[in-house]
Amino acid sequence: AAALACVDLLVSMGLRPENVTLTDIQGVVRADRPGMLPNMARYARQTEARGLAEALPGADVFLGLSAPGVLRPEWLDRLAPRPLILALANPDPEILPDLARRARPDAIIATGRTDYPNQVNNVLCFPFIFRGALDASATEINEEMKIAAVEAIAALARMEASEVVAAAYGGAAPVFGPDYIIPKPFDPRLILEVAPAVARAAMRSGVAGRPIADFDAYRRELEGFVFRSGQLMRPVFEVARAGHKRIVYAEGTDERVLRAAQTLVDDGIAEPILLGARAEIEAKAREMGLRVDLRGAVRVLDPARDHDVFGPLLPEYQRLAGRRGVPMEIAQRALAARPAVAAAMLLRAGLADAAICGGVGNWWRQIQHILPIIPRRPDASRVYGLECLILQTGTFFLCDTQMVVDPTPEQIAEMTVLAAEAVSGFGITPKVALLSHSNFGASDSESARKMRRALGLVRQRAPDLEVDGEMNGESALVAAIRDRAIPDSRLSGTANLLVLPTLDAANIAYTLLKAAADGLSVGPVLLGMSKPIHVLSRSVTARGIVNLSAFAAREADSVSQGPGGGSALAG
């Protein structure tokens, strides 16, 4: 039944029935065979061939859904050049790929096995056919919908592989070819490609009871199933898409940055500018099988060679560096050799709207490179770090995870207001807990007093902010426990912005939660900068870069709409 269903689908897509030769346990399905079922009879042929071996000469494709070992290696030389061998019997195929490859090195081979390339698995289509059919309220799953699923899967195989798929290949991104003719079954993009294609086909063929009006919105809804960050990032992506901001990436040769650039272009989130040697970036993109247009949608700048761009920036950087005792010739070399410096200077000069640095090398050193170039906001005395963690139980923001070792009450208040502003940028109403070992005055330690003092300062600076403290972690996350301790708390429900008393406490809490609870992070977000610039952690994924890029684009949009259309840069 499975074999005939496959043949029927191929015929509906254009395969000529007279080019099909069926075989089963009795041999070739010939026109003179008595008692055939109708679904077999329509493919019965007038032929002298009796068995499989006699049916093979000149065949372009072998499609097997039968039994192990029925296709012998010595028969393979009868097939046409570069044959496609689909040996799909499970658990053991009609011929093992190793045997087939030795007999026909030019063959393209697929099986149902996970331990060989080109695994054919019905999980590639069934969940997503049903998803598209259900979302369109289809009254049936017809041939048009099945064909749409096939075409979507085929198109996905030709797209560059996602980070998840690349990881399954040991980090080497597969490129469409003999060992990669079909997507991996766990490719997260399948739902994004197949379900909409099926829904469209249902609408075209007139079986959709509830047509989908906005496929862009539908795709964004599906992204929420694929990426845990999807729901959190949706409002950020919407703003970013409207702004078309230019984002410069200091590490343009990094594979994660290149994958992120492809996604940013495909989804219309931003216009990437990659820093690095053009030849190296182009070679890496080819090696990864990316479609990214490095001479169009994505701009490549080489700080060491593109003197027309970076030459005019040198005097300003020399002025900034000279104020820190850096000789002119060293400043010149730094602009050409330090990507973070070049990215920050492009941002300072208005040649980019946001900058993303890091992902490789020492995080603190990158910070030291950019801070003299992109100063703090006028209302910020320090720069702070905010991390977002997406857990099964909810989304939480923690600060300061990166910058200030032992902040004062004034700095706690300042970072709280800045962090609340950033949380609002995600479309989330901030609910702030100032954390301590002490719970609402239970201790009079220096740390507890610091957080109590910070609470008063926060309420002075942001009287409408929903904030309370000092409190322990349980009171922050469990409203019933907090209400028993202090029934009149201004904080309602579960806190989502957790402000901790020291860098140690914040960073330890963040890393423990991320590891123990399988948290997905977005960040670190730098708070208090006058322009959108962020430094990636070394563990960041391509999706993490996309998320932080979208947030930076949203920040850039806010800056451009602020007083005077931007931020002043002081010497």
CATH of the domain at 390: 3.40.50.10750
Q: Are residues 292 and 325 in the same domain?
A: yes
Q: Name the domain boundary from 370, 405, 433.
A: 370
> How far is C-alpha 32 from the chain's CA centre?
57
- Residues 157, 182 contacting (CB under 8 angstroms): yes
Q: Are residues 392 and 355 in the same domain?
A: no
| Alpha-carbon gap, residue 225 to 231, rounded angstroms | 9
pLDDT tens digit sequence for 61-72: 999 999 999 999
Per the rule left: phi > 0, alpha: psi between -120 and 50, beta: everything else, 268 is left
Q: Is residue 101 part of a domain?
A: no
The model's confidence at residue 224, banded by pLDDT at 50, 70 and 90, is low
The answer, yes or no, to whether residue 558 has pLDDT greater than 80, is no
Q: Are residues 364 and 444 in the same domain?
A: no
Q: What is the pLDDT of residue 169?
A: 53
Q: What is the pLDDT of residue 519?
A: 82
The answer, yes or no, to whether residue 552 has pLDDT greater than 90, is yes
The model's confidence at residue 567, banded by pLDDT at 50, 70 and 90, is very low
Q: What is the pLDDT of residue 564?
A: 35
- Residues 247, 356 contacting (CB under 8 angstroms): yes
pLDDT tens digit sequence for 312-337: 999 999 888 877 777 777 888 889 89
Q: Are residues 331 and 418 in the same domain?
A: no
pLDDT tens digit sequence for 1-27: 788 999 999 999 999 999 999 999 889
Q: What is the pLDDT of residue 167?
A: 57
Q: DSSP string covering 496-514, please?
A: -EEE-SSHHHHHHHHHHHH
23: number of Cβ within 10 Å: 21
Nearest to 275 by CA among 313, 241, 239, 238: 313
The answer, yes or no, to whether residue 234 has pLDDT greater than 60, is yes
b/e sequence 86-117, b meaning 16+ C-beta within 10 Å:
bbbbeeebbbbbebbbebbeebbbbbbbeebb
Question: In this predicted structure, which of 52-66, 126-140, 155-169, 265-279 has the lowest mean pLDDT?
Answer: 155-169
Q: What is the pLDDT of residue 404?
A: 95
| Alpha-carbon gap, residue 101 to 95, rounded angstroms | 10
Q: What percent of the chain has pLDDT over 70?
A: 94
Q: Are residues 293 and 408 in the same domain?
A: no
Q: Is residue 429 part of a domain?
A: yes
Q: Are residues 486 and 357 in the same domain?
A: no
Q: What is the pLDDT of residue 330?
A: 82
Q: Are residues 341 and 460 in the same domain?
A: no
Q: Are residues 324 and 347 in the same domain?
A: yes
- End-to-end, the C-alpha distance of the chain in Å comes to 76
The answer, yes or no, to whether residue 571 has pLDDT greater than 90, is no
**Residue 114 corresponds to which tokens in the numbers above?**
């996970």
Q: Is residue 256 part of a domain?
A: yes
Q: What is the pLDDT of residue 566?
A: 37
| Alpha-carbon gap, residue 283 to 302, rounded angstroms | 15
CATH label of the domain that carries residue 306: 3.40.50.10950
Q: Are residues 355 and 404 in the same domain?
A: no
Q: Name the domain boundary from 325, 346, 370.
A: 370
Cα-atom radius of gyration of the chain, to the nearest Å?
A: 30
Q: What is the pLDDT of residue 565?
A: 37
Q: Is residue 482 part of a domain?
A: yes
**Residue 180 corresponds to which tokens in the numbers above?**
């990669």
The answer, yes or no, to whether residue 563 has pLDDT greater than 50, is no
| Alpha-carbon gap, residue 396 to 429, rounded angstroms | 12
Q: Is residue 329 part of a domain?
A: yes
Q: Are residues 291 and 342 in the same domain?
A: yes
Q: What is the pLDDT of residue 174?
A: 74
Q: What is the pLDDT of residue 249?
A: 98
Q: Are residues 253 and 362 in the same domain?
A: yes
Q: What is the pLDDT of residue 12?
A: 94
Question: In this predicted structure, which of 225-239, 449-463, 468-482, 503-517 has the lowest mean pLDDT?
Answer: 225-239
The model's confidence at residue 230, banded by pLDDT at 50, 70 and 90, is low
The answer, yes or no, to whether residue 569 has pLDDT greater than 50, is no
Q: Is residue 403 part of a domain?
A: yes
Q: Name the domain boundary from 348, 370, 392.
A: 370
Q: How much is the average pLDDT of 108-123?
A: 90
Q: How much is the average pLDDT of 197-216?
A: 96
Q: What is the pLDDT of residue 1?
A: 76
Q: Are residues 447 and 499 in the same domain?
A: yes
Q: How many domains does the chain have?
A: 2
Q: Is residue 396 part of a domain?
A: yes
Question: In this predicted structure, which of 58-72, 85-99, 279-293, 447-461 has the lowest mean pLDDT?
Answer: 279-293
pTM score? 0.70
The answer, yes or no, to whether residue 562 has pLDDT greater than 60, is no
pLDDT tens digit sequence for 486-515: 999 999 999 999 999 999 999 999 999 999
The model's confidence at residue 164, banded by pLDDT at 50, 70 and 90, is low
Q: What is the pLDDT of residue 324?
A: 72
The answer, yes or no, to whether residue 296 has pLDDT greater than 50, is yes
Q: How much is the average pLDDT of 356-383?
A: 92
- Residues 419, 465 contacting (CB under 8 angstroms): no
pLDDT tens digit sequence for 427-451: 888 999 999 999 999 999 999 999 9
**Residue 385 corresponds to which tokens in the numbers above?**
């770090």
Q: How many residues does the chain have?
A: 571
The answer, yes or no, to whether residue 460 has pLDDT greater than 60, is yes
Q: Is residue 240 part of a domain?
A: yes
Range of the domain at 321: 228-370
Q: How much is the average pLDDT of 175-186?
A: 87
The model's confidence at residue 397, banded by pLDDT at 50, 70 and 90, is very high
Q: What is the pLDDT of residue 91?
A: 86
| Alpha-carbon gap, residue 455 to 331, rounded angstroms | 43
**Alpha-helical runs (H) found in 404-541:** 409-425, 446-461, 473-477, 479-485, 503-516
- Hunting for tokens 């906005």 — which residue is that? 214
| Alpha-carbon gap, residue 282 to 571, rounded angstroms | 37
Q: How much is the average pLDDT of 99-123?
A: 92
Q: What is the pLDDT of residue 442?
A: 93
Q: What is the pLDDT of residue 216?
A: 87
pLDDT tens digit sequence for 504-551: 999 999 999 999 988 888 889 999 999 999 999 998 989 899 999 999
b/e sequence 423-445, b meaning 16+ C-beta within 10 Å:
bebbebebbbbbbbebbbeeeee
User: In the predicted model, what is the mean pLDDT of the chain?
Assistant: 90
- Hunting for tokens 């200091």 — which residue is that? 250
